[in-house]
Structure 1
């Protein structure tokens, strides 16, 4: 056991340093002074250099070869460290450091270009990021598919071909449902009015509490692009406020609470080990989407939210809880992925999946990205992009190098569809609790069946164990078709 213990002790420090680096990223997106961008880029590069050195330390190879774990937990820890060691060893230290520095700088450049509606100010930097990611992908792929090599970071043991196959099943039914909904005689009324930021943020805290967010181990801040950050005893959330559109803030908050609750719900014995994090981004997204949609946008919870919002804003232009349920779930031809309704959300992901694969393989040049984005959006959504912040500049992911990340959003929705069906069968009184603003019964079922395991169980087996059946898009598609047929009187 001495070799295994040496391995654990070394990994504990690596995990702690990675957590510090993640906190630097949180700070940059929330409270860091705008003038500190270049300094932070240097700091991030220095941290990545140290962490990369540890992940490729020759002693790791010796310990991994000699370690003799005594149980399933120890064996899984060794497997995960070995996987990270193998991946990190293929990436030159120079490249890892340059990627950290470039993407830190790119984040600020993207934010400025987005605010100024000037993609030309961002595209040269994006091109540099893509060149570095192509180099990284080639190093990791070792002759295989470069996009699959990047996808492996976020959804292990999954290929782009497998995801494309799932998308081919989903796309026609989603497009058909959207056409039926948008062509329906009945259309829910939109929410209108002025909703001050201070009140929105107060309500967002109330919603986060309703979904069980642990404020003793977290906090909420405002960011350009909502995200969560951290794990173990410190997992923070952010939200975004648009004063005419309070659902943006409230549901972004609930979404990020889903992410954070996953991290905070992992068995505390796994802290500072590879088990002490979400097993894949697809599973992570399944939690945030379940919180946001199947629970948060359901009739029971929106009834409770109607009363809270009516009180907070001295009345709404919506007559009653049933009408409000339709308003929350309105299907509209909007531009923004994070604000998209459930029917169209995955269509946004499918578009990005195709575009980023082409960027990584070189079939699409960065100079042609804006035109390609706008043409594809018009084809898929029937709406012409009106400004870059509603188009190619809306997401931060490519700026920070997250190529291979986008498809996990849709895969997370598929997982969420399977989990929701199992959760409803296991917790038949869930809606009674949600109607009282209490998501605890659902959150507890998810904690027991998903959260506590961390990365102990591989992603697909984790979902199969939790649901007792195979994974596929049918539960999600059936849920969407039934829900929106009722809302739109189809």
Structure 2
């Protein structure tokens, strides 16, 4: 075997162990007994210790020095292995293990505190998470910006300052559009009761409609919807509310976007660094374009309206046009995952600024709730009513995902670029969506984005697919055009 062959064989075993760790995380959020949390924390810490040792194994450096890739794919494999190795050797093994242990335990503490509306019960463990993540960021940054080092885990080759510049460009137009829309009469909201078992049945149908392969996946319920895994085992979760079936349906479509990306990657990349999504921003571009540009379009909502009438009977919405307005209703609300397209990115900007301040030490954990509430009131014009609608609503900080939040809005920006190209490439798109046929859109996304996995850097894959330099203009233009039409602006 050549050095390259030995390195790739070693990497496949490391990737397989990483998939096992991911499966433990999926189990923890879906079916694990609540009382198993302390043991699961030790299990996660143990497997992280093994993974860290492999990622930082000195043999990796030797193989990297000796490996001679023969093609573009081989060069990309080495690029990603080297990037991961350079990061792994900077983080002490005991710190990586401690982070795995505390974040596993913190997830259960967060879930209980959220259920109890008790921020004080969560703050001590969050303090530990933040402290350990700062140490990790400092080790990775080596004198540079701590938050930049954390963003690198989720959106390689991007800095906090670059993200802030994009957000500064987006904010004025989003705020102006929101003000104009909220000044108009609000479309009717759904009312009544929607059987949760029927919701899950229709959610499964939606998953299949958007191309999710259930031979290599499954749909379960969790407190916070997510997608897990890659390659041949890609699982999603959703959630139900008796009074809000849209929460279930659009969470499902969103997570299918993530899962379709992982299922669509070239199988030759299985269990290699290229065999997963290249970044969370590109990942979000898939989930957001599935959920919003496709799933909330006038064409597709017409089909969904008919499906809901079959499933639930008359549910109080007069026709497909009224249903389209209801699906895209802009309204006050606290929850990021339930936010409309106009306001969603404003929720992300709030979190981005707060977590950046936490990592810089400019904001202390015991100040977080007040800072969140003050910022929310300033941005949205009304007060947070309870912690589960405020700083306890998201799981991310409990599991140490600092630097993750801004990738949601980067995903929206990327989706705007992709959708502009998609519409030009698939001229019959609306007719297809009106028949509940997403294959034209999903096939284009698979060909131009998904199959490549980690072959290209994040911005490069968007540039290749869309033909333009990634930026917020296509997204902002799409939002202004769509909501001006709905609200008669």
Q: TM-score, normalization: structure 1?
A: 0.99
SS at 1:39 equivalent: helix
Deviation, structure 1 residue 182: 0.3
Give the alignment of 1:181-192 within 5 angstroms: 181-184=181-184, 186-192=185-191
What count of residue pairs does the alignment treat as equivalent?
489
Compare 220-229 and 304-313 and name the one that shifted more.
Answer: 304-313
Contact 2:186 2:331 in 1 (8 A): no
Paired position in structure 2 for 1:60: 60
Deviation, structure 1 residue 118: 0.4
Deviation per CA, 1:39-95, whole angstroms, max 9, x where unpaired?
100000000000000001110111001111111111111111011000000000000
Contact 2:266 2:451 in 1 (8 A): yes
Deviation, structure 1 residue 333: 1.0
**RMSD across aligned C-alpha pairs, in angstroms?**
0.6
Compare 104-113 and 433-442 and name the one that shifted more.
Answer: 433-442
Q: Hey, what's the Cα distance between the residues in 2 that align with 1:232 and 1:311?
A: 35
Paired position in structure 2 for 1:332: 331
Deviation per CA, 1:381-419, whole angstroms, max 9, x where unpaired?
111000000000000000000000000000000000000
Q: Find out whether 1:49 has 2:49 as its counterpart.
A: yes
Q: Find out whether 1:382 has 2:381 as its counterpart.
A: yes
Q: Hey, what's the Cα distance between the residues in 2 that align with 1:40 and 1:197?
A: 30
Q: Hey, what's the Cα distance between the residues in 1 that align with 2:90 and 2:366?
A: 29
SS at 1:394 equivalent: coil
Deviation, structure 1 residue 187: 2.1
Give the alignment of 1:122-271 within 5 angstroms: 122-184=122-184, 186-271=185-270
Q: Hey, what's the Cα distance between the residues in 2 that align with 1:446 and 1:331?
A: 28
Q: Hey, what's the Cα distance between the residues in 2 that align with 1:352 and 1:247?
A: 24
Paired position in structure 2 for 1:10: 10
Give the alignment of 1:472-483 within 5 angstroms: 472-483=471-482
Q: Hey, what's the Cα distance between the residues in 1 that align with 2:412 and 2:155?
A: 14
Paired position in structure 2 for 1:119: 119
Q: Hey, what's the Cα distance between the residues in 2 that align with 1:487 and 1:316?
A: 21
Deviation, structure 1 residue 219: 0.2
Deviation, structure 1 residue 108: 0.2
Give the alignment of 1:347-426 within 5 angstroms: 347-426=346-425
Contact 2:3 2:66 in 1 (8 A): yes
Q: Hey, what's the Cα distance between the residues in 2 that align with 1:187 and 1:332?
A: 8
Deviation per CA, 1:311-367, whole angstroms, max 9, x where unpaired?
211111110000000000000110000000000000000000000000011100100
Give the alignment of 1:74-85 within 5 angstroms: 74-85=74-85
Deviation per CA, 1:147-171, whole angstroms, max 9, x where unpaired?
0000000000000101100101100
Deviation, structure 1 residue 438: 1.3
Deviation per CA, 1:238-293, whole angstroms, max 9, x where unpaired?
00111101100000000000000000000000001100000000000000000000
Contact 2:220 2:236 in 1 (8 A): yes
Paired position in structure 2 for 1:31: 31
Q: Hey, what's the Cα distance between the residues in 1 that align with 2:3 and 2:462?
A: 33
Instruction: Find runs of 4+ consecutive structure 1 residues off by over 2 angstroms.
Output: none
Q: Hey, what's the Cα distance between the residues in 1 that align with 2:375 and 2:434?
A: 40
Query: Structure 1 stretches of 5 or more lacking a match?
Result: none
Q: Hey, what's the Cα distance between the residues in 2 that align with 1:272 and 1:198?
A: 35
Give the alignment of 1:268-283 within 5 angstroms: 268-283=267-282
Deviation, structure 1 residue 206: 1.1
Q: TM-score, normalization: structure 2?
A: 0.99
SS at 1:221 equivalent: strand
SS at 1:236 equivalent: strand
Q: Hey, what's the Cα distance between the residues in 1 that align with 2:210 and 2:314?
A: 24
Query: Structure 2 stretches of 5 or more lacking a match?
Result: none
Give the alignment of 1:83-98 within 5 angstroms: 83-98=83-98
Paired position in structure 2 for 1:346: 345
Paired position in structure 2 for 1:302: 301
